[in-house]
Each structure stands twice: as structure tokens, then as C-alpha cells.
Amino acid sequence: MEFCILLVVGREECYGYSLVQRLRELPNLSLSEGTVYPALARLIDDGLVRATRRPSPKGPPRRYLTLTAAGRKRLREMSTHWWSLRASVEALMPAEEDGDRDA
């Protein structure tokens, strides 16, 4: 979850509501307000995400989220770990058979 939040914040400018909406769109992650907001507050507390209130093009002023230098570093570390983990799991996967591919 922490990884997903850092990925979204690192990729596009967002605020709390848009962050949750973006994460909710993704199937299988099961991320919603109850998990995202406490984790987001922790990331801000840990200095990985910065929240800055400023005027919004639509609606009232919002707390916009950006990654700090420490947040970008953590995101790089987590990405490296993710690709390494994915490669290891894929190495364990059986080779795809013709029948499965056709199905």
C-alpha cells in the first residue's frame, strides 16, 4: 500500500480525494479511505510525502501531495525490491503451455 501511494504521488500531482479515487480504480488492490488516509498521514509524518495547501483550479484550496527527496529515494528502493521480487516469483512459475495460451 505504501508503495502504491508513493507511486501515484510520484507520478502525478494529486490530493487526498483524487489519490483514493485513483487507487480505487485499480482491481485487486482493495485500497480505500480506511487504509489510505492513515498510511498517508504516516508517510507525511515520516517525511516521505509533503502536503502543501494551495488554491485549486476547481473548488476550494486543497492539500496537494508531492514526494520529498526522502520519498523519491524510498520509492526507488521499493521499486528495485519490487522488480527483484517479481523476477524471483516469475522464475518459479511453470512455463506457459500451449493449451493455457489458447484458452
Given the rule CB under 8 A, which of 6-14, 77-85, 93-101 is the region that contacts other proteins?
77-85
Q: SS3 letters for the chain?
A: CHHHHHHHHHHCCEEHHHHHHHHHCCCCCCCCHHHHHHHHHHHHHCCCEEEEEECCCCCCCEEEEEECHHHHHHHHHHHHHHHHHHHHHHHHCCCCCHHHHHC
* Contact flags string 23-62 toward other proteins, x per CB under 8 A: ---------xxxxxxxxxxx-xx-------------xx-x
Among 12, 47, 77, 83, indicate the residue that binds other proteins (CB under 8 A). 77
Q: Provide the minimum distance between the beta carbon of 21 and other proteins in the complex, in angstroms, as a whole number.
A: 9
